[in-house]
Amino acid sequence: MDILEVKELKKSFGELIAVNKVSFNIEEGEVVAIIGPNGAGKTTLINLISRWIKEDEGIIKFLGKDIKYAGPIQALEMGIARSFQIPRVFGKMSVLDNIRLAITSKEKKSKKILSFFESDKNIKERAIEILEKFNLLEKMNLFADELPHGDRKLLDVAIAFSLNPKLLLLDEPTSGVSAAEKTRVMNRIIDTIRKENITTILVEHDMDVVFEYSSRILVMNEGKIIADDTPERILNNDLVKQIMGGK
């Protein structure tokens, strides 16, 4: 079953057409990578699906429903969560609190004024479970901005994961992470996602990461999708080789 259908999606910023008549479908449980050179429109596409910006033309259907009028919060309620290229975590709060905040919000308990945040044991237990999955348990009492970059990236994904998404959008989960750390970060993320069978769209620069972890690859260039295939076939696609600089 298709969880996401994108049809003829278009978005321009002034003269620049960032996303140009893009169409694709994503099936439940797939881990799809979007690759392409800088300025290809990958992040714009993620911003459109997560409803940070609105399209000029085209349709995005999530679970069969048109999400034209949804904002980020409605999209999240439907099950679309995301992480960010530059990790967005709550810096001056503990790693544990970062996850607890997300779960509290997901459970619609953020509005509570007359109870203590820390007294909800149920939420704490679940937060700890999630931190364990992402290997962050030992660091749960550190401030999020004290974490090394790789762990901050993991925390960003863990926050999105704790919102119980049906579709997870990961915007360059390994950007800025050292080569040695990349495998550790990606293994953690992909292991967890696969175990829970969460459909994922992964925007990546690093070809090694893409070919190792995704089941299908969309190649974007100048706002258009120029190839949509399995990693093996993408590797042998001449046009892709040319665009990606022979990587």
Partner 1 sequence: MVYVVDMKEGYNIIKRITLIKKERKGILYIILFTIILAIIRPFIGPYWSFIVAYGLIISIVGLGFNLLLGYNGLLSFGHAGMFGIGMYTLGLCTKYFNISSLEILILLSIIIGLIIIIGLGYVASKLIIVYFALFMLSFGQIIFALTYKLYGITGGSDGLSIPILTILNINFNSRIDFLYCYYYFVLLIFTICTIFMWILVNSPFGKTLQAIKVDDIRATYIGVPVRKYRYIAFIISTLYAVISGALYGPLNGFIYPELISHVFSGEIVYLTLLGGMNYFAGPIVGSFIYTILKVYIPTITEYWQFIMGATLIIMILLFPGGIVGWIYSKFKKR
Binding site for partner 1 (CB under 8 A): 50, 72-73, 76-77, 81-82, 84, 88-93, 97, 100-102, 104-106, 109-120, 159-160, 163
Looking at beta carbons only, is 65 or 109 nearer to partner 1?
109
Nearest to 176 by CA among 87, 244, 245, 243: 87
**Taking the complex as a whole, how short is the minimal distance between the CB of residue 156 and partner 1, in angstroms?**
8
Distance CA 161, CA 110 (A): 18
Looking at beta carbons only, is 101 or 154 nearer to partner 1?
101
**Taking the complex as a whole, how short is the minimal distance between the CB of residue 224 and partner 1, in angstroms?**
27
Looking at beta carbons only, is 97 or 206 nearer to partner 1?
97
**Taking the complex as a whole, how short is the minimal distance between the CB of residue 27 and partner 1, in angstroms?**
24
Looking at beta carbons only, is 120 or 204 nearer to partner 1?
120
Distance CA 247, CA 239 (A): 12
Distance CA 103, CA 90 (A): 14
Looking at beta carbons only, is 114 or 179 nearer to partner 1?
114
Distance CA 186, CA 47 (A): 22
**Taking the complex as a whole, how short is the minimal distance between the CB of residue 68 and partner 1, in angstroms?**
19
**Taking the complex as a whole, how short is the minimal distance between the CB of residue 157 and partner 1, in angstroms?**
12
Structure tokens at 193: 């996602």
Looking at beta carbons only, is 1 or 113 nearer to partner 1?
113
**Taking the complex as a whole, how short is the minimal distance between the CB of residue 207 and partner 1, in angstroms?**
28
- State phi, psi for 71 to the nearest 5 degrees: -100, -175
